[in-house]
Amino acid sequence: MTITQSLFYFLAFVAIFSSLLVVTAKNPIHSVLYLILTFFTLTGEYILLNAQFIGIVNIIVYAGAIMVLFLFVIMLLNLNVESEPQKTNLMKFIGIITGGIGLVVLTAALKSTDPSNTVVIQEVDMGLVKNLGQVLFKEFLLPFEIVSILFLSAMVGAVLLARKETK
C-alpha cells in the first residue's frame, strides 16, 4: 500500500464514522462539530485528488462560513439535549431500514459492473486555481453570473424572512 492509498482509506473511515455521529449525536452542537470533522476529511480526499482549489474552498465555505451560521442559529435558539425532539423507535427503525435498503441496492448495482480502473489523475494541473479559473470564466461564464444573481436574491430573501415584523 502506498501512502496515498492508506491515507484514502483512513480518511474514508473517519468520514463515515463522523458522519454517522452527525446523525446520531443527541446534542445539536456536537452534531455540528462532527459535521465539521467530516468536511475536513473530505477536504483531505480532495487534496489527494490534487483538487487543491476545491479543497480549500470547501474549508472556507463549509467549515468557515456555513457551519458557523449553523452554530450561531443553534446558540441563538438555545437548543440543547433536553429540548431535542425524538422520533418514536418504530419510526427510527423504519427510517434506518429504508436507508439501508437503498444503500444495499446501490452497492449491488455497483458490484454487477465491471471492476473499475484505478483513478489515474489525467492532467495533474487541472485542480489548480489557474486552470479552473480559465474554465469557469470561459465555458461557464453565464452560469457564474446567474449564481451571483441567485446570491443576491438569497440575501434579500434571508433578510426579509428573518426580520422581526413591526406592527
DSSP state of 139: T
CB atoms within 10 A of CB 27: 13
DSSP state of 50: T
Binding letters toward another protein, positions 9-48, x by CB under 8 A: ---x--xx--xx-xx---xxxxxxx-xx-xx--x--xxxx
Q: What type of residue sits at position 45?
A: E
Q: How far is the CB of 89 from another protein (least distance, A)?
A: 10
Cα–Cα distance, 119 to 4 (Å, whole number): 12
Q: How far is the CB of 159 from another protein (least distance, A)?
A: 8
Binding letters toward another protein, positions 48-77, x by CB under 8 A: xxxxxxx-xxxxxxxxxxx-xxxxxxxxxx
Q: How far is the CB of 74 from another protein (least distance, A)?
A: 6
Report if residue 166 touches another protein, rule: CB under 8 A. Answer: no
Binding letters toward another protein, positions 105-144, x by CB under 8 A: -xx--x--x-xxxxxxxxxxxxxxxxxx--xx--xx--x-
DSSP state of 62: I
Q: What type of residue sits at position 22?
A: V
